[in-house]
Amino acid sequence: MAVRMLRRVVAMDRAELEHRASTYARQQASRFGALIRKPSWQRSDLTASLRDDVSTLRPAIASLERHDWESAHRALIDHFATRAGRFPIDAAQRSKTVETILAAFPGAAADATARGDAVLEGRFTLLGYEDLPWTIESEKASGEAPDWHWDPVHRCRAPLAFWSRVAYLDPACGDHKVIWELNRHQYWLQLGRAYWLSGDTRYRDAFAAHLASWMSANPPLMGINWASMLELGLRSISWIWAIHFFTAFSGSPELDRFPWTVDLLLGLDRQMRLVAENLSRYFSPNTHLLGEALALYVVGRTLPELRRAADWERLGREVLIDQADKQINADGGHAELSTHYHRYTLDFYLLALAVARKTADPIADVFTPVVGALARFARAMADDQGRLAGFGDDDGGQLLTICGRPSWDASDSLQIAATMLGQPALAVGHPAEEVVWMTGRTTAATCRAQDAESIALRDSGYFVSRTPRGDHLVIDAGRHGFLNGGHAHADALSVTLTVRGRPLFIDPGTGCYTIDAAVRDRFRSSASHNTLTLDGRSQSVPAGPFHWRSTADGRSLDWQSHPTFDYFEGSHDGYGPLVHHRTVLARPGCWWIVDRVTGSSGPLQHIDAHWHLDPRWHATSTPEGNVRAESDDGYNVWVLSAGGRMELIDGWCAPLYGRFVRTTTLRSTCDERTPIALITVVIDSPEVAHSLQTLPVTVNGHVDPLAVGARLVTAEWTETLLFGSGRSLSRVGDVETDARMLCWREEKGQTPLATVLLDGTVATLVRGI
């Protein structure tokens, strides 16, 4: 640890050293001030934070000066209920928004009240945890406000120390992700949704009570809920939603038990000041910086009533523009190479664009192409149901949680982007209610599956093969993460595969970050991905929860996409001096995956190819070693292996952070000297008569050790495959060719046909010669 920190300091340039020094000095001064004077909230401080040149704020300021909090609250309610809208939702549009949602989504009100009632009963569903009781003593009455520093999963409580001194990565504090997820207050959006769609003031009362409780339990700068600037930013965005949800109401402000607008604005001002002073510059992962900048921009642009709003808005805008160039690759992918954090980034810029357009900020013209690039990448990485292929960390968090959609479902983000950009081809899945909340309009028409195409996302290192029937294969052949690779996994050349809309080969997920080091390392190891391990080793070796001792970078060697097939070749450098090569031939209903290990021959190498099934598939093995997988809805595929022994083992996946589900892993194993070849074929077929065998490849009568040949036999056709070594005329089975890759299919009763021929001019049937 000390050596790594020393190296990091030596690598810093002057600008970074000055930034870190000044930030540290401010933190220390603030900490000593907190030691001298115990931090506390003073409602009277809001007077100096409001602009006195806004006429409709003067009654509130006058009441604050008299310490008449209730009158100040009523004046603020009147101000926000009548001012021009500056956020996706506003009081003037409440009736229209509710009417639109209830007409388009008849079940929305019932769903909203069910989710809202769960909160009223003190039951929270966050990340992968359901119905969490967020109090220490189980006998506490339901509906009581949460204990804001308590981790109810691991039964730990974080200390109320000065924010920069809270060791939130220490498991002794509990899982900071669990604590922070509640303290983001994103469930307030669900209370607001329930309030608008039902008109029931209980949801508004619960919000106000929870705000009062949070302010009491979280004095300024004290405790774990002040320790991450990103968390302050995301919480502040939730508070902005709350202002607009709960100042739009029918009834009287006397219904409020607390002057919540006073407290909320006071808390927003203090949190934004801290974020502005402690932006996560020179920090990895830098989605933190994006989220913090988004909060500064949204709060500043939405609440010009605050004196510092213009400064926050300007700072947030500058960072969002600057980081768009630094963090978004040319193909639209986020630099961290995590599909989950890419979706976060898309949502950040979607909200920034929505606020920019709502407030007539010319910067909307800059945000628009950024959103377009991010959305096109997300559409490529999502299957036709909107499920993102899982690569890299997935912490289960989201920006827009209003309808309780699971984090892996990006269809709402894509439909919002399609609607805002006027590009229906981006939309996917069923119509999304979230579109109305963000845009005031119903969802764009969803894109037809056959409109999506295979694509090479070369800058991010992903290669996507898809078909009109809903197949979706993604190959990871990129670098190992971004900067220190904090959200990367050891997944070079890993694949995910969806067959006819059913996820088959999945990334098992993340599970946890800091609470269990063994689980953290297991879920990001190579063995937990659909790739190959050598002698039980991982391609990349971790060093703590967000660092790596060694890393492997993937690289693509060839990608060709044609109307009837997609072809990929790649390698990675994680097992030096040996090299892992992977070749994939993808066609509708049939996928060939060939793994080769090359290098100087030495002792026997133990090779495992891992294939992790989605839990909705149930696998059985035939006496021949083939695997039949049947989905919950009765759909069948076959997985065959040649060159190794296929076995079924029990496994685990984490579809959501903190939720662990049993599943099955297929593992093809062999012990050989290099060069070694393992062949895996997936066939979308109900037939049982399948066989796969390796074939020697000869050149001038001599076996070519670097080439791979195989024959796949089904009830309807036979297929011969050659992955050559680039040498002249080769023979595999009954076929002779000068191609680097040949796939020759013979259908029963029909003339043989060379279905795929790459880098060659001839393929000849030489049966009987």
User: What is the secondary structure of 343-396 as a DSSP string?
Assistant: HHHHHHHHHHHHHHHHTT-TTHHHHHHHHHHHHHHHHHHB-TTSBBP--S----
Indicate the SS3 state at residue 217: helix
Cβ-Cβ contacts under 8 Å for 583 (sequence gap 6 or more): 567, 568, 569, 592, 593, 594, 596, 723, 741
CA-closest candidate to residue 75, choices 298, 297, 262, 300? 262
CA dihedral 520, 224, 485, 491 (to 10 degrees): 30
Q: How confident is the model at residue 319 (pLDDT cuts 50, 70, 90)?
A: very high
Cβ neighbours around 10 below 10 Å, total:
7
The pLDDT assigned to 34 comes to 76
Per-residue pLDDT at 185 exceeds 70: yes
Q: How confident is the model at residue 701 (pLDDT cuts 50, 70, 90)?
A: confident
> Rounded to whole angstroms, how far apart are CA atoms 453 and 450?
7
- Which carries the bigger pLDDT value, residue 442 or residue 51? 51
pTM, 2 dp: 0.94
* Residue 523, phi then psi, degrees to nearest 5: -75, -15
Cβ-Cβ contacts under 8 Å for 739 (sequence gap 6 or more): 722, 724, 757, 758, 759, 760, 761, 762, 763
Q: How confident is the model at residue 74 (pLDDT cuts 50, 70, 90)?
A: very high
- For residue 534, the surrounding DSSP H or E stretch is strand 532-534
For the stretch 583-621, pLDDT in tens is 999 999 999 999 999 987 678 889 999 999 999 999 999
Q: How confident is the model at residue 139 (pLDDT cuts 50, 70, 90)?
A: very low
- Contact (Cβ atoms closer than 8 angstroms) between residue 548 and residue 447: no
Averaged pLDDT for residues 414-440: 94
Angle at 476 between CA 473 and CA 482, to 5 degrees: 140
For every residue of 672-688, DSSP letters joined together read: EPSSEEEEEEEE--S--
The one-character DSSP state at 4 is H
Tell me the CATH number of domain 453-687, given options 1.10.10.1200, 1.50.40.10, 2.70.98.70, 3.40.640.10.
Answer: 2.70.98.70
Strands 532-534 and 645-656: unpaired
Per-residue pLDDT at 33 exceeds 90: no
- Contact (Cβ atoms closer than 8 angstroms) between residue 476 and residue 461: yes
Radius of gyration of the chain measured on its C-alpha atoms: 29
> Rounded to whole angstroms, how far apart are CA atoms 710 and 722?
7
Tell me the CATH number of domain 40-278, given options 1.50.10.100, 3.40.50.300, 1.10.1740.10, 1.20.1250.20.
Answer: 1.50.10.100
Which bin fits 41, alpha (ψ -120 to 50), beta or left (φ > 0)?
beta
For every residue of 68-108, DSSP letters joined together read: -HHHHHHHHHHHHHHSPP-SSS-GGGHHHHHHHHHHH-TTH
The pLDDT assigned to 682 comes to 96
Mean pLDDT of the chain: 91
β-sheet with 645-656: strand ranges across? 532-534, 605-612, 659-672, 645-656
Sequence spans of domains, the chain: 1-37, 40-278, 328-449, 453-687, 689-769
The pLDDT assigned to 249 comes to 63
For a pLDDT cut of 70, what percent of the chain falls above it?
A: 93
Q: How confident is the model at residue 138 (pLDDT cuts 50, 70, 90)?
A: very low
